[in-house]
Chains A and B, each alone.
Chain A
Amino acid sequence: DAGITQSPRHKVTETGTPVTLRCHQTENHRYMYWYRQDPGHGLRLIHYSYGVKDTDKGEVSDGYSVSRSKTEDFLLTLESATSSQTSVYFCAISDQTSGHYNEQFFGPGTRLTVL
């Protein structure tokens, strides 16, 4: 299994509080992604990173920010959590090998409940 961990695995918080989710990889892969999974929507990309301090928005980035200060860590922050951000959050990683498709590997997920 790819070395990806997410912390915390479960979190319950209240509306308006800040929340930070952490993704940690031991694979030294270049790309890291944050998705959210919701019933009826599948997985949707929130933000991704293509290197240290290099990040960009996905399709559902409103209300989220990210940071990547080290290759191995990708943080997702909800500045002021809302109930609509109750979801399961997945981190994924992929490498870049010229001429090859590079599989995305997924972490175990973080279940976030915003009351």
Chain B
Amino acid sequence: AQSVTQLDSQVPVFEEAPVELRCNYSSSVSVYLFWYVQYPNQGLQLLLKYLSGSTLVESINGFEAEFNKSQTSFHLRKPSVHISDTAEYFCAVTEAMNTGFQKLVFGTGTRLLVSP
């Protein structure tokens, strides 16, 4: 079974500052890792994913995450945040190589609050 820990429930940051949202996972098998974003009163959208290959993955809006197998981490970073990045961010994990039913296990979420 997999589990995910998001160490920060809330991260306040000023606009244009860098940010890191932390995610650690636990699994006895190979995993796929994800970051989802939830804007206020909306559903979840996939922000980025690690399936295989390069351990550094990027999103189209400037976020990146690095898969670190030795530290079992998948932290999300952005060098300069915008007000529009204010949202809740969920880290999730599933067993790798599963092309059918996916048991996505979610972390408890980190609320990113960007202020001017």
Contacts and interface: CB of A to CB of B under 8 A. Distances in A.
The answer to whether A and B come from one shared complex is yes
Interface of A: 31, 40-45, 48, 50, 90, 94, 96-104, 106-109
Interface string B29-73: 000100010000011111001010000000000000000000000
B74 interface: no
Which of B6, B46, B104 has the most C-beta atoms of chain A within 10 angstroms of its own C-beta? Answer: B104
A100 B20 CA distance: 30
B99 A43 contact: no
Interface residues of B, number: 24
A115 B103 CA distance: 31
B43 A31 contact: no
Nearest to B107: A42
Nearest to A105: B46
A107 B101 contact: no
Contacts of A106: 36, 43-45
A104 B100 contact: no
Contact of A101 (B43, B45, B99, B101): B99
A31 B100 contact: yes
B106 A50 contact: no
Interface in B2-30: 4, 6, 9
Contact of A40 (B4, B49, B108): B108
Given A101-B32, A101-B51, A43 B101 contact: no
15 contacts: A31-B100, A31-B101, A31-B102, A42-B4, A42-B106, A42-B107, A44-B106, A48-B101, A50-B100, A90-B43, A94-B102, A101-B32, A104-B102, A106-B45, A109-B43
